[in-house]
Amino acid sequence: MPIPLQQQTLDALEQKGVNSKIMDKDLMDAVFDFKQSDHVKAVGISTSSRPEYGGKFSHSKMILQEVLDNLAKHGCQTSMIDAKALNLYECAGYYSRGQTECIFPCKTSIARKDDQMKQIYRALLENDIVIWATPIRWGMYSSLIKKIIERMNCIENMQSVFGVKLIENKVAGFVTIGHEDGAQNTAGLLAMTMSAMGWHIPPHCMCYFVGGADEMTELDDERIAKNQVHELAEVLAENCYKLSSKLTGKTKTFVPPQPVDAAAAKA
């Protein structure tokens, strides 16, 4: 019987001389304690810092939801994390102090009880597919996703230093939205990073919209409505699902639990 991932992590840390007493049980349970599913699970992580106003979301978050809706049509169970709503601390650079100092879950999460990076860690372990959504900021991804990636260094370090593969048979895709240039560069950088951490990247792994060489972002709703980005969202969802189902062997369709009729239950 395979050793649970949580126990593999604890054993590997102990073998490298990491004092197990520093590990927070509640934190470990929050990250690792989830049930395996017989259907593909997908999470979208929005990393736009744009506040919602007038009932409107950021465009990257809007297209992310479209990709998730398409994944649901393929039978996936889907969820979304809005990273701007989480209290996330910066990477404290433990790796620079020594290679065995950078552990999973991150020591910042251990030291700071109000750090909510554990929600992202759990989502990355629990879901078969992750779709990252970011605006384009000066030809690059957002500062928020950069902060998250730096906090994910411990995932890569657990494999390269401790020999524990936290990310296996998982798929990543990308949504990039912005003006002028940078969509392919942004998605390419993210794809390279996620691949280094263990995610598989499918063909046509990005869904993007790039506005014109102007500052008229107020027209983007109309422009996006007429853009091929919606076709790209369908292709991205289909390719992520096909690759994930091949990697995991999961082909069942997610059936949402039916709400309980209180009156019928009493009867």
Q: How would residue 181 be classed by pLDDT, with cut points 50, 70 and 90?
A: confident
pLDDT at 65 over 70: yes
Which stretch, 9-18, 214-223, 236-245, has highest mean pLDDT? 236-245
User: Distances from the Cα of 160 to the Cαs of 8, 98, 163, in angstroms?
Assistant: 14, 13, 6
Range of weakest confidence among 115-124, 162-171, 202-211: 202-211
Confidence of residue 264 (pLDDT cuts 50, 70, 90): low
Average the pLDDT over 200-204 and give the result. Answer: 97
Place of tokens 């290679």: 99
Question: What domains does the chain contain, in order, with CATH numbers?
Answer: 5-266 (3.40.50.360)
> How far apart, in whole angstroms, are the C-alpha atoms of residue 85 and residue 116?
10
Whether residue 59 has pLDDT greater than 90 = no
pLDDT tens digits along 73-110: 999 999 999 999 999 999 999 999 999 999 999 999 99
pLDDT at 114: 96
pLDDT at 266: 57
What whole-number percentage of the chain has pLDDT above 70?
Answer: 92
